[in-house]
Amino acid sequence: MISGIEKKIVSLLKNSDKKAISLLYEHYADALYGVIKKVINDENTAQDVLQETFVKIWRYSKKYDPQKAKLFTWLYRIAYNTSIDKVRSLKNKTEKEIQIDNSSVYKITSNALNQDVIDIKKHLTSLDEKYQIVINALFFEGMTQQEASEELNIPLGTVKSRLKIGLRELKKIYNP
């Protein structure tokens, strides 16, 4: 049985009414924070994840379907998945920290740079626009494939396919 406040929140979300966020926060923030704290121990990180969760809830509010899940279940999944994503992101970040002693960045000579690939942005314009957009987002704007999918509003599989095809086309330019 769906409660009156739940109905009101769902209605506000569907109409993109910003009152929905304050009602959601008032009624669900503590519970969602509890979900997040089970995954993330650090207080500041957990607070950041709670904020990211509410941003995602707002961004995906049109996708919520009361026929598929209760409101709290939907909110719970977003909070939990955002927590897991943050843990993975932090783990990857610490694993990828640059070790200056082991780095060869400072040992590169200008002869070591392949002069043919320096003009990659110029060659990128020779590709279809759909491939340019994906490669630009991933390589020059530093997005992950998932972020590019969300930002460009195209399915993740399509992002991966366009990346693969775009890189294959660039390879033809550089390796005729």
**DSSP secondary structure of 59-105:** HTGGG--TTTS-HHHHHHHHHHHHHHHHHHHHHHHHHT---GGG--G
Non-local CB neighbours of 31 within 8 Å, separated by 6+ positions: 72, 76
The Cα 116–Cα 119 span in angstroms is: 7
Contact predicate 173/123, CB 8 Å: yes
Task: Answer whether residue 104 shows pLDDT above 90.
Answer: no
**Average pLDDT over the chain, rounded to whole?**
81
pLDDT digits (tens, 9 = 90+) for 137-175: 887 778 888 888 988 899 999 999 999 998 888 888 777
pLDDT digits (tens, 9 = 90+) for 34-51: 999 998 888 899 999 999
